[in-house]
Structure 1
Amino acid sequence: MIQNFLHYTVKQNKLNITAYGMENILTAPCIIFVHGFKGFKDWGFGPYIGNYFSKKGFLVLFFNFSHNGVGDSLTEFTELDKFAQNTFSLEIDELEEVINLYRSMFFGKTNNSKIFLVGHSRGAAISLLTASINEEISGVALWSCVATFDRYSERQKAQWRKKGFFDVFNTRTKQAMRLNISLLEDLEKHRDGLLNIENALRKLNKPLFIAHGDQDLAVPIKEAEQIYEWSDKRFTEFSKIIGAGHTFNCKHPFEGSNRKFNLLLEKTVNFINNIS
């Protein structure tokens, strides 16, 4: 059973949340999926993942970050003003709120205390950082994870500071998507603390699954190798998906699954089942 929820955060930002597998909520572990940059909960493979994991016996939560740019249409970038104001720290705060909603029985009564984070791309890094500071997370799966948020040249940063914004182009929607200086300021303020991916990995003391396509052009597989290098090998599983790109050969609108993506899903479920 699928059910939609609406929640306003402590900062009065709106979160649209979809729960898959509500019939499992009483006894099942919870998986929270975290979308990436220019992503959203209903992007391409999202609903397929929700249905897949719920059929495996999990409660699965998908949500849109309040400033991901997607409004009430749920599939179109109609709130580019909010997108411009987004920060990494805000996303961590909102993921923490979703975790707390589950723990407080917002979605319904549960007797299972296991919570797993599965994140894609930037959302994988947000998941990792959150798991490193939240003891209630039992394990985290990183799909196509970035090894750093600092992905801009010094020249780009100089122009960013000069203009007060930086535009990125969405090749799918043909939209110029603005990032305000607040994102860069957030990164620079917290680069050695909250947003330091290396530090988070070195102190992570829970199971970690890293999956990355060797044909990923957006986030090269060398970043996954760096993440694995920083991780505690006692708790870490690293899987290279040969022949897979950044979204594991899935598209939006969704055109169906494929062997590479099915392999990723199977490996992720096995990782979680071995813990739960």
Structure 2
Amino acid sequence: MEVKKISDSVPSAENLPIYYHLYYPENRGEDNLPVILFLHGFKGFKDWGAFPDACRELSKAGFAVLAMNFSLNGVGESMTEFDQLDLFARETLSQDLEDVGTVIKALKDNDITGQDISLDASSIGVLGHSRGGHTAVAASAEYPEIKCLVTWSAVADYNARWSDEMINDWEEKGVTEIKNGRTGQIMPVKEVVYKDAIENADHLMAVKRVQELELPALFVHSKGDEAVSYSEAEKLYEHCNAQDKEIKLIPDSGHTFNTAHPFEADKFPEPFAEVVNATQEWFQSHLK
């Protein structure tokens, strides 16, 4: 099945672009397609590695898949380079959550649409990787339009990830610096990011918001994840109050299930293929 892709943006609350790709299957007529939102993680972007190919595969199963860049993620019109570090430095969890709401509103207002198809903005699923998984949980509790959740390698409690060194930097200098292992860039993170997460913890922390969920939820994680322990998925699963919930632990792969950027292989590594298949089956079963 062929998949079409539309690339555009909608303005955030502060009038910054929320860039997106909308993938949808060709020749679906006027079908009212359910929508899956894909949320990238920290130091991530919608065009990273195998993510676009995964979105295409999910679309082939009969979904419109909207992969979005958060408005403050630091990646501009290049779509793949961190060329807006001033924005990255102040990317709060609150703003990420608000960006999801902005996209949902744009879908409901028909400001986001495909050609020759209609989108069902009352039937939205959300898929998030890493920090994006953390935000996906909060968004699922925040926005009633979201009916189904899948997380990949999700963080359960972002406030547990701030190191003493980072906190000392924020207290003394108002900013800390992290190194992007892939690009070698030194990336600033301002104190506002930390303060926002601490002051709004009840509203933002996934491990708290997951307790509010009644929708179907699948938590996927690798047992070999070097960045976020699979115990985070176990925590989310245990605290989730949904009757229809599942945890899937993938052996022998890393934080991105043996994929990398750029992704130039002809087919997915076996662990990532397993993740995509499980995700597709979950949405096919639970997102109507």
Query: Structure 1 length normalisation: TM-score?
Result: 0.95
Query: Alignment partner for residue 145 of structure 1, among 124, 148, 154?
Result: 154
Whole-angstrom distance in 1 between the partners of 2:138 and 2:41: 14
> Which is further off, 45-54 or 80-89?
45-54
Q: Relative to 1, partners in 2 of residues 1:103 and 1:247: Cα closer, same or farther, differing over 3 Å?
A: same
TM-aligned CA deviation for residue 255 of structure 1? 3.0
Which ranges of structure 2 fall in alignment gaps of 5 or more residues? none
Query: In the alignment, what sits opposite 2:8?
Result: 5
1:21 aligns with 2:24: yes
Whole-angstrom distance in 1 between the partners of 2:25 and 2:104: 16
TM-aligned CA deviation for residue 55 of structure 1? 1.4
Whole-angstrom distance in 1 between the partners of 2:47 and 2:166: 31
Q: Percent identity, aligned pairs only?
A: 33
TM-aligned CA deviation for residue 110 of structure 1? 2.6
Query: In the alignment, what sits opposite 1:45?
Result: 50
Q: Secondary structure at the match of 1:194?
A: helix
TM-aligned CA deviation for residue 197 of structure 1? 2.0
Query: In the alignment, what sits opposite 1:190?
Result: 200
TM-aligned CA deviation for residue 22 of structure 1? 6.0
- 1:96-146 Cα deviation digits (max 9, x unpaired): 111111122222363633110000000001011011121111111010000
Partner letter of residue 272 of structure 2? Answer: F
Q: Secondary structure at the match of 2:22?
A: strand
- 1:58-100 Cα deviation digits (max 9, x unpaired): 1010111111111111111111111001111000000111111
Whole-angstrom distance in 1 between the partners of 2:131 and 2:54: 18
TM-aligned CA deviation for residue 252 of structure 1? 0.0
Query: In the alignment, what sits opposite 1:242?
Result: 251
1:252 aligns with 2:261: yes
TM-aligned CA deviation for residue 159 of structure 1? 2.3
Whole-angstrom distance in 1 between the partners of 2:13 and 2:25: 25
TM-aligned CA deviation for residue 155 of structure 1? 4.2
- 1:226-270 Cα deviation digits (max 9, x unpaired): 111111262211100111210011000003311111111111111
In the alignment of these two chains, the number of paired residues is: 275
Structure 1: 4+ residue segments shifted above 3 A: 22-26
1:125 aligns with 2:134: yes
Contact map agreement 1:40 1:64 (CA 8 A) in 2: yes
Q: Relative to 1, partners in 2 of residues 1:102 and 1:75: Cα closer, same or farther, differing over 3 Å?
A: same
TM-aligned CA deviation for residue 168 of structure 1? 0.8
Whole-angstrom distance in 2 between the partners of 1:202 and 1:15: 29
Whole-angstrom distance in 1 between the partners of 2:36 and 2:166: 37
Partner letter of residue 211 of structure 1? Answer: V
Contact map agreement 1:45 1:251 (CA 8 A) in 2: yes
Q: Compute the RMSD of aligned alpha carbons.
A: 1.5
Q: Secondary structure at the match of 1:7?
A: strand
TM-aligned CA deviation for residue 156 of structure 1? 2.8
Contact map agreement 1:3 1:22 (CA 8 A) in 2: no
